Structure 1
Amino acid sequence: MTVNTPPSLMIRDVHIADRPRERLIRQGAESLSNQELLAILLRTGTKQESVLHLANRVLGFFEQIQELKNATMEEMMTVKGIGQAKAVQLLAAVELGKRLSQQKTNEKFTIRSPKDAATYLMPEMASLTQEHFVTLFLNVKNQILHKQTIFIGSLNASIVHPREIFREAVKRSAASIICAHNHPSGNPSPSTEDIDVTKRLMEAGRLMGIELLDHVIIGDHQFISLKEKGYM
């Protein structure tokens, strides 16, 4: 539910039952819209507009709520009505959310299928604006021991060095690995480079006795498994 208020209408003019904080207390945080949650974080509006209207403009500026994950203080302060103090509040809330999410993913997570790997990685990787090449290091039960970003930038067979990945695999006593990278375009279809990199890593894994189980490409909330597609 989004509470639509004219810019001139202050939060005190909203019926008490419809105010975000009161609704959260009464109905729980999950019942609030993104606008209302932001309004609680911002606490106050400006002399010209309510905090609900200000929250709505923040959402309008970033287009998708996921974009707040990578927003800088300077970007937030570009929004009229967001000064340094409010930008700090939002950044702190975003960072806390990231850490809570990371804590959850750091628990032993078992990979049973390409979908499991995608589910584990997608919340972080789907909204990235640059390509990130990530490796999951697994134990003999296919539980994640460690996740590491190997490099950031366009995928190229000459850049992805198997020695870096398998050195880390040996260090972590990994039985196998899963590699993944994102396509900022949103289209997860593999390129020739993607396939070449995968074959190179498969060969290195065979020599090291550490199997490359899959190479997953993350797009806009969709993914492709190179193993399922027959490239491995």
Structure 2
Amino acid sequence: MRNGFQRIPQSSQPRERLLEYGPQALSDQELLAILLRTGTAQMNVMELAGRVLSVFPSLFDLKLASRDELQQISGVGQVKALELVAMIELGGRIQKALQPKIGKVRTSVDLAFTLMEDMKDYQQEHLVCLYLNTKNEIVKKETLFIGSLNQSVAHPREIFRGAVRVAAARLIICHNHPSGNPTPSENDLLFTRRMKECGELMGIEVLDHLIIGHQSYVSLREEGLWNS
């Protein structure tokens, strides 16, 4: 015992188990212990979590618990009760949350004109990815690179990492040519081919690569350069 609190062997501490095995491997008691943070002089945090779950034996029961009911449990003071109530409410809101949408891709023309307005004053190349769901709704728009588009800087793993993070079904690559001339370079074509190949391996379709110039654009798919 240290500072009035019982110690748990480090190998059994829920935070350490979370770090090593991930949240799915933890029991309800261990997850609750992490939220409670500390126990009392009479019981460690795992024992306190077990006591809470003995009063509310299912997570459904715990979801309906009021602050007053939580405070009646020995070891759960006002602060812990408020934190648990806040956790329950936030969990419910997360469960109901929908993935935000920031528009829908209908045609390459519409998208290109929007991007021309966004990118018209850029003095450097910007590589932007639009991550889409199965309905072609944009779930995320992200600028991934600023600078010359080359194989060492614009690596597919960074692009597809973002796609996996938002569970995208497909994506569109966009970048600008500050010169104003949207004609694709050989490097642009090589990069596009590499992206397509990676997408086929990962099951994430690369729909198009748009190159934005000054009041003009090139869609590699529309121009028949998709397989060049």
> TM-score category by the smaller chain?
0.5 to 0.7
Residue 219 of structure 1 aligns with an amino acid whose one-letter code is: G
- 1:209 corresponds to 2:203: yes
Match of 1:195 in 2: 189
Tell me what 1:140 maps to: 134
- Any residues of structure 2 matched to 1:102-117 within 5 Å, and which? 108-117=102-111
Alignment map for 1:119-198 (pairs within 5 Å): 119-198=113-192
Query: What amino acid is the match of 1:207?
Result: L
Q: Secondary structure at the match of 2:168?
A: coil
In the TM superposition, what is the alpha-carbon distance from 1:214 to its structure 2 partner? Answer: 0.2
Count of residue pairs brought into register by the alignment: 127
Deviation string, structure 1 residues 202-229 (Cα, Å, up to 9, x no partner): 0000001000000000000111101111
> Is this contact kept in 1: 2:130–2:138, CA < 8 A?
yes
How far residue 188 of structure 1 moved from its aligned partner, in angstroms, is 0.4
Higher-Rg member (1/2): 2
Which residue in the other structure is 1:228 paired with?
222
Q: CA deviation at 1:132?
A: 0.3
The CA deviation at 1:158 is 2.4
For the structure 1 residues 107 and 211, does the alpha-carbon distance in structure 2 shift closer, same or farther, using more than 3 Å as the test? Answer: closer
Shift of 1:107: 5.5
Deviation at 1:142, TM superposition (A): 0.4
Letter in 2 for 1:170: V
* Residue-by-residue CA offset, 1:58-83 (whole Å, 9 max, x unaligned): xxxxxxxxxxxxxxxxxxxxxxxxxx
**Partner SS state of residue 178, structure 1:** strand
The 1-side partners of 2:110 and 2:168 are apart by 18
What displacement does 1:120 show?
Answer: 2.8
SS at match of 1:157: coil
Cα distance between partner residues in 2 of 1:139 and 1:120: 19
TM-score norm. by structure 1 comes to 0.53
Query: Gapped runs of 5+ residues in structure 1?
Result: 1-105
Counterpart of 2:201 in structure 1: which amino acid?
L
Letter in structure 1 aligned against 2:108: P
What fraction of aligned residue pairs are identical, expressed as a percent?
53
Query: CA–CA distance in 2 between the matches of 1:120 and 1:149?
Result: 15
Q: Per-residue CA shift, 1:131-189, capped at 9, x if unaligned?
A: 00110000111011101111100111222111111111010010100001000000100
In structure 2, stretches of 5+ residues that fail to align are 1-99
TM-score for both structures, normalised by structure 2: 0.54
8 A contact 1:127–1:220 mirrored in 2: no
Runs of 4+ in 1 over 2 A off after TM superposition: none
Q: Counterpart of 1:193 in 2: which secondary structure? A: helix
1:24-173, aligned counterparts within 5 Å?
108-173=102-167
Kept after mapping to 1: 8 A contact 2:211/2:218:
yes
| CA pair 121-107 structure 1, distance change in 2 beyond 3 A | farther
Aligned equivalents of 1:214 and 1:200: distance in 2? 13
